[in-house]
């Protein structure tokens, strides 16, 4: 039976209206579109479309499992766990996407007006969680604190950077650098913006301009966040986010398989098969973190020959076995995906007889006493390394301490060898060069994590020139030359392995890991 013309026209109008409405939501409200789409899809699949009364309570909450308690939400920390929490609360001027490309954040635009002067324009109407309006003074205070705060991980990177306010301008400001700085934007992506009244405080309640407010924490157990209604950016898909701590690997696995959490970090490698069999998605990404030994060059390891002996005594393939295949032996202090990697540097071969012959030149009968320092949780690596060193003629004494104690002891220079991990958050070798390999220089903040007081004047000079060079090809060549110096010519340490990061997630969430390893709840749908 043919429909009457008026009814046919009415139905056509309804269909076109729905189509245009859907297109408009997709184009102008993409986050709400994704939430609605996923809700409709889930309801159709479950057969409950007719009874759907909006998103249920569980769908509004995102639960994430961590292996270690970050301990705080300090905005100047680059510790992976701490920064993951901080990125829920705070925004930088510019941010990086999941592939580390620079994107606008609370700075909507910028430009370089001379080799050492950059001009930035803030977004209008950006609010802190206390409803205080963001100003250029807040930006200036945040950069000053990140540059000078005693425990800031950013001091070396921000050396020579100052904010210059422009009279009568409320949203425009300049950043001046002592020298040309081609990596300024990458460095600024690490500076999280705080209210100016917190500049001189050591500890303060987390208040930022980010998508989530800090809602509270239970020491050693969890950190809670709630969506900020006044957020300037895209509306979060989840109203509440909880990061729970599961130090025990079995409890972590149980949490994700039972549905208590939606996303799990630090998946135990041996559990990958069982998690996949349970219908969970497992993602594997390079960590950009290289683990290595670094020498105290002020003591016995002032001798490059003894450093060579240690290097030859370590079989890097062992670490791949320890990680069940989720680690890769490395030849240098950055991974192959980092700008500055030198493909001409090969793995130094494992050669115990050569190592033993070197030690005999120093002490033919007595073992040489040395101290090694490891962070707790690395006992397997520590036991292997100490066994190898004892086999070639050392008498190693190994200590395992918390990260905070490990870090606090670095200035004391009390060990002969330290086990370090360095994550190239900027995607560039400049980070480790300036902070861990360059000679210690309190004036400019260089060598903040140079625990062994390593010093190589030629390498220092090359590093300083490279980070001022805008030409990518020239800068890469300088990085690679410096890498060869500190790896082969005058060893800073012993590169060991790059670990891979494993994540598990349920099919309730759309989660794609970031290259830098941080989890940002507002990116998850």
- How do residues 107-136 score in pLDDT, each as one tens digit? 999 999 999 999 999 999 999 999 999 999
- State yes or no: pLDDT of 480 exceeds 90: yes
Classify domain 286-500 by CATH number. 3.10.105.10
Report the pLDDT averaged over residues 8-23: 50
182-208: per-residue pLDDT in tens? 999 999 999 999 999 999 999 999 999
Residue-wise pLDDT tens digits, 131-175: 999 999 999 999 999 999 988 989 888 988 999 999 988 899 999
pLDDT at 364: 75
At 436, the pLDDT band (50, 70, 90 cuts) reads: very high
Using CA atoms, how far residue 106 sits from 178, 246, 350, 418, 462, in Å, is 24, 34, 50, 39, 34
State how far the alpha carbon of 292 is from the alpha carbons of 319, 346, 374, in Å: 11, 15, 11
Rounded Cα–Cα distance for residues 484 and 489 (Å): 7
Residue 408 confidence (pLDDT): 78
Q: What is the pLDDT of residue 443?
A: 77
pLDDT score for 467: 87
Q: What is the pLDDT of residue 383?
A: 94
* pLDDT for residue 499: 86
| Band of pLDDT at residue 49, cut at 50, 70 and 90 | very low
Query: Span 58-65, mean pLDDT?
Result: 87
Q: Are 497 and 316 in contact (CB under 8 A)?
A: yes
Mean pLDDT of 382-394: 95
DSSP structural state of residue 439: P
Instruction: Lowest mean pLDDT of 61-65, 422-426, 437-441, name the range.
Output: 422-426
Confidence category of residue 14, pLDDT binned at 50, 70, 90: low
Domain ranges of the chain: 5-54, 91-198, 212-280+506-523, 286-500
Residue 53 has pLDDT above 80, yes or no: no
Confidence (pLDDT) at 479: 96
Identify the helix (H) or strand (E) that includes residue 228.
none
pLDDT of residue 484: 97
Measured distance CA(417)–CA(312) in Å, rounded: 15
pTM, entire model: 0.77
The 10 Å Cβ neighbour count of residue 287 is 22
Sorting pLDDT into bands at 50, 70 and 90, what band is 3? Answer: low
Percent of the chain at pLDDT exceeding 70 = 89
263-264 and 61-66 beta bridge pairing: parallel
Token code pair at residue 474: 């020239």
**pLDDT of 263-309, one tens digit each?**
999 898 889 999 999 999 999 988 889 999 999 999 999 999 999 99
Per-residue pLDDT at 50: 35
pLDDT reading at 15 higher than 70: no
Average pLDDT value for residue range 368-377: 91
What does the radius of gyration of the chain's CA atoms come to, in whole angstroms? 26
Which fold does the domain 91-198 belong to in CATH? Dipeptide-binding Protein; domain 1 (3.90.76)
**How does residue 9 score in pLDDT terms, banded at 50, 70 and 90?**
low
Q: Is the pLDDT of residue 11 over 60?
A: no
pLDDT band, residue 454 (cuts 50/70/90):
very high
Average pLDDT of the residues in 208-222: 96
Main-chain phi, psi angles of 122, to 5 degrees: -80, 155
How much is the pLDDT for 28? 44
Burial of 493 (0-12, 13-18, 19+ CB in 10 A): buried
406 exposed, middle or buried (CB, 10 Å; 0-12, 13-18, 19+)? buried
Q: Which residues contact 17 (CB under 8 A, 6 or more apart)?
A: none
Average pLDDT, the chain: 88
Tokens at residue 501, please? Answer: 């990061």
Q: 212-280+506-523 has which fold? A: D-Maltodextrin-Binding Protein; domain 2 (3.40.190)
* Poorest-pLDDT segment among 23-37, 232-246, 433-447, 509-523: 23-37
Q: What percent of the chain is modeled with pLDDT above 90?
A: 69
309-363 pLDDT, tens digit each: 999 999 999 998 888 888 999 999 999 889 999 999 999 999 999 999 999 999 8
For residues 405-429, give the mean pLDDT.
86
CB of 495 closer than 8 Å to CB of 331: yes
> What mean pLDDT comes out for the span 38-64?
53
């Amino acid at each position: 039976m043919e429909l009457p013309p008026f009814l046919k026209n009415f139905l056509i109008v309804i269909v076109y209206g729905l189509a245009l409405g859907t297109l408009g939501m997709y184009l102008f409200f993409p986050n709400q579109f994704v939430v609605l789409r996923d809700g409709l899809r889930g309801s159709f699949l479950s057969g409950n479309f007719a009874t759907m009364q909006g998103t249920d309570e569980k769908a509004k909450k995102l639960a994430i499992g961590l292996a270690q308690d970050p301990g705080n939400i300090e905005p100047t920390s680059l510790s992976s766990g701490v920064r993951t929490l901080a990125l829920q609360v705070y925004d930088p001027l510019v941010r990086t996407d999941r592939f580390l490309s620079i994107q606008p954040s609370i700075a909507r635009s910028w430009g370089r007006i001379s080799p050492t002067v950059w001009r930035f324009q803030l977004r209008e109407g950006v609010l802190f969680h206390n409803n205080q309006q963001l100003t250029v003074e807040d930006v200036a205070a945040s950069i000053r604190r990140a540059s000078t705060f005693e425990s800031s991980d950013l001091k070396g990177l921000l050396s020579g950077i100052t904010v210059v306010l422009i009279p009568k301008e409320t949203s425009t400001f300049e950043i001046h650098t002592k020298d040309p700085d081609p990596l300024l934007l990458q460095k600024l992506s690490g500076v999280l913006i705080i209210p100016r009244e917190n500049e001189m405080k050591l500890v303060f309640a987390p208040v930022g301009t980010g998508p989530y407010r800090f809602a509270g924490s239970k020491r050693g157990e969890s950190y809670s966040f709630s969506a900020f209604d006044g957020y300037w950016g895209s509306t979060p898909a989840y109203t509440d986010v909880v990061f729970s701590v599961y130090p025990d690997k079995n409890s972590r696995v149980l949490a994700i398989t039972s549905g208590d959490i939606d996303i799990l970090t630090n998946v135990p490698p041996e559990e990958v098969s069982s998690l996949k069999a349970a219908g969970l998605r497992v993602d594997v990404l390079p960590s950009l973190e290289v683990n290595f030994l670094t020498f105290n060059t002020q003591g016995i390891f002032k001798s490059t020959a003894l450093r060579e002996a240690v290097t030859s005594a370590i079989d890097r393939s062992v670490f791949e076995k320890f990680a069940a295949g989720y680690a890769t032996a490395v030849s240098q202090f950055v991974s192959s995906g980092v700008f500055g990697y030198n493909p001409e540097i090969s793995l130094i071969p494992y050669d115990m007889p050569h190592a033993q012959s070197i030690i005999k030149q120093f002490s033919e009968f007595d073992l040489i006493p040395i101290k090694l320092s490891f962070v707790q949780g690395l006992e397997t690596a520590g036991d292997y390394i100490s066994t190898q060193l004892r086999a070639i003629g050392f008498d190693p004494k190994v200590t395992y301490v918390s990260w905070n104690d490990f870090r606090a002891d670095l200035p004391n220079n009390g060990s002969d060898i330290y086990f370090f991990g360095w994550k190239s958050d900027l995607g560039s070798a400049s980070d480790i060069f300036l902070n861990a390999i360059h000679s210690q220089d309190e004036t400019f903040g260089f060598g903040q994590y140079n625990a062994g007081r390593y010093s190589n004047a030629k390498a220092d000079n090359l590093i300083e020139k490279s980070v001022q060079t805008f030409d990518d090809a020239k800068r890469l060549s300088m990085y690679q030359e410096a890498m060869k110096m500190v790896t082969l010519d005058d060893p800073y340490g012993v590169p060991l392995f790059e670990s891979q990061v494993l994540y598990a997630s349920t099919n309730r969430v759309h989660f794609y890991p970031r290259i830098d390893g941080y989890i940002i709840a507002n990116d998850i749908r």
